[in-house]
Structure 1
Amino acid sequence: MSEKTDLLEELDTVINPKKELDLNYFLYVLLGVFFIVALLFPKIYIQQQIYFASRDIAKLKGEYDTLKEENRLIRASAESIRFKNQILDTLF
C-alpha cells in the first residue's frame, strides 16, 4: 500500500506542482500596495482639507448672518430712539 501512495504522491507533485510564494511575488504585492496608497492619499487629504475649510466657512457664514441681523435690530432701535428724541425735543 505504501508503494501505491508513494507513487500517487509523486504523480501528484508532477501533475500539480505546489506553487510556493517567493520573494519577488511579495515585493510585487508590496509595490502594488504602495502605488495604490500613493495614488489615493492625495485625494483623501484634499477631500479632508476641503471638508474642514467648508465647515469653517459655514460656521463663519452663520456668525455673519447672526451679526447682520443683530446690526439690523440695533439700527432699528437706534432709529426709534432718534425719532423719540426728535419728537420729545419739539414738544419741550
Structure 2
Amino acid sequence: MSKELNLLDEVDLVLNPKKMLDARYLVYVVLSIVFVGVVLFPKIYIQQQIYFKSRDISKLKGEYDTLKEENILISTSVESIRFKNQIFDTIF
C-alpha cells in the first residue's frame, strides 16, 4: 500500500508541479503594484485638481453673474435718481 501511495505522490508531482511562491515572486508583485501606482497617481491627482478648480470656477461664475445683475439694478436706480434730480433742479 505504501508503494502505491509513493507512486501516486510521484505521479502527482509530475502532473501537478507545486508552485512555490518565493521572494522573487513577491518582489515582482510589489514592483508591479508600485509601477501601477506611479503611473496612475498623477492622473488621479490631476483629475481631482481639475474637479476642484472647476467647482471653484463655477462658484465664482455664479457670484459674478449675481454681482453683474446687481450692478445693472443699481445703475438703473442711480440713473432714475439722477434723472429725478435733474428734473427737480430745473423746476425749482
Q: TM-score, normalised by structure 1?
A: 0.91
Gaps of 5+ in 1: none
Shift of 1:66: 0.5
Shift of 1:54: 1.0
Distance in 2, Cα, partners of 1:14 & 1:39: 41
Give the letter for the 2:6 counterpart: D
CA RMSD of aligned residues (A): 1.2
Gaps of 5+ in 2: none
Name the counterpart of 1:39. 39
Task: Give secondary structure in 2 for the equivalent of 1:24.
Answer: helix
Shift of 1:74: 0.2
Moved more, 31-40 or 11-20: 11-20
Percent sequence identity over aligned pairs? 68
Give the length in aligned residue pairs: 92
Shift of 1:90: 2.1
Name the counterpart of 1:61. 61
Name the counterpart of 1:16. 16
Distance in 1, Cα, partners of 2:60 & 2:23: 55
